[in-house]
């Protein structure tokens, strides 16, 4: 399910914290950066937004886990490519999870793009859910802070850039107006007197 960024923004501004949760379930990292940007503008409370983002992201992780666990081999064969895991990778992933599943989940969660494969694979190999959710919670707590911070400072940078550009535009407009005045009053007046 793909939403345009305009829909994300309109949902966020209209429903605020209620919109953060489902959007974090669907696409946690992008929404987290966007919320960080809105925090920099004073639209959201950072603590409330953080708690809602973490909760939504963990629900999304649990849905990935459930798809792998109860969808099984049929799910992997049919839909696995959308999560980055194919039928040929199952045995390799299973062996890796047997050795160090919680560490793999943490690394997968921190790596954008491959996390879905690890989440579905954890469910497929029937990793104990409490171990799964604990490893994901630790990674989500860290990753959410990092992404909110990126969004926040990006927003702060945009605000600073905008004020610099505003000052530059004002300075250029003033210089242009001054040059027109000089031309009409001084240079044209000088030519008429010569």
pTM beyond cutoff 0.75: no
Asked whether residue 103 carries a pLDDT value surpassing 90, the answer given is no
Spell out the residues 6+ positions from residue 90 whose beta carbon is closer than 8 angstroms to its own: 73, 76, 121, 124
Q: What is the pLDDT of residues 33-76, one digit of tens each?
A: 889 988 988 889 999 999 999 999 999 999 989 988 887 777 77
CA distances from 29 to 66, 132, 145, 191 (A): 20, 19, 11, 66
How many CB atoms are closer than 10 A to CB 89?
Answer: 15
Instruction: Grade residue 112 by pLDDT with cuts at 50, 70 and 90.
Output: low
- Condensed to tens digits (0 to 9), the pLDDT of residues 167-183 reads 666 677 777 667 776 76
Average pLDDT over every residue of 80-103? 68
Q: Smallest Cα–Cα separation from 145: which of 40, 33, 61?
A: 33
Residue pLDDT, tens place only, 119-163? 877 888 888 899 889 988 998 999 999 999 988 888 767 556 556
> Can you tell me which residue has the tokens 């999870």?
97
Distance CA(115)–CA(129), nearest Å, equals 16
The more confidently predicted of residues 32 and 81 is: 32
What is the arithmetic mean of pLDDT over 75-94? 67
Phi-psi region of 27 (alpha: psi -120 to 50; beta: other; left: phi over 0): beta
pLDDT at 10 over 50: yes
Q: Other CB atoms closer than 10 Å to residue 159's CB: what's the count?
A: 12
């Amino acid at each position: 399910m793909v939403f345009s960024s305009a829909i994300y923004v309109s949902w966020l501004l209209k429903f605020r914290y209620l919109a953060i949760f489902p959007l974090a379930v669907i696409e946690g990292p992008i929404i987290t950066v966007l919320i960080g940007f809105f925090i920099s503008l004073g639209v959201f409370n950072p603590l409330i937004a953080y708690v809602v983002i973490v909760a939504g992201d963990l629900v999304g992780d649990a849905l990935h886990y459930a798809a792998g666990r109860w969808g099984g081999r049929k799910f992997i064969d049919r839909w696995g490519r959308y999560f980055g895991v194919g039928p040929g990778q199952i045995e390799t992933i299973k062996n890796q999870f047997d050795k160090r599943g919680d560490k793999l989940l943490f690394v997968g969660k921190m790596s954008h793009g491959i996390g879905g494969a690890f989440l579905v694979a954890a469910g497929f190999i029937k990793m104990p859910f409490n171990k799964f959710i604990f490893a994901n919670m630790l990674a989500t707590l860290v990753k959410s802070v990092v992404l909110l911070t990126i969004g926040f400072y990006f927003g702060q940078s945009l605000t600073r850039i905008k004020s610099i550009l505003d000052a530059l535009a004002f300075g250029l407009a003033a210089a242009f107006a001054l040059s027109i005045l000089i031309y009409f009053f001084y240079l044209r007046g000088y030519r008429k007197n010569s």
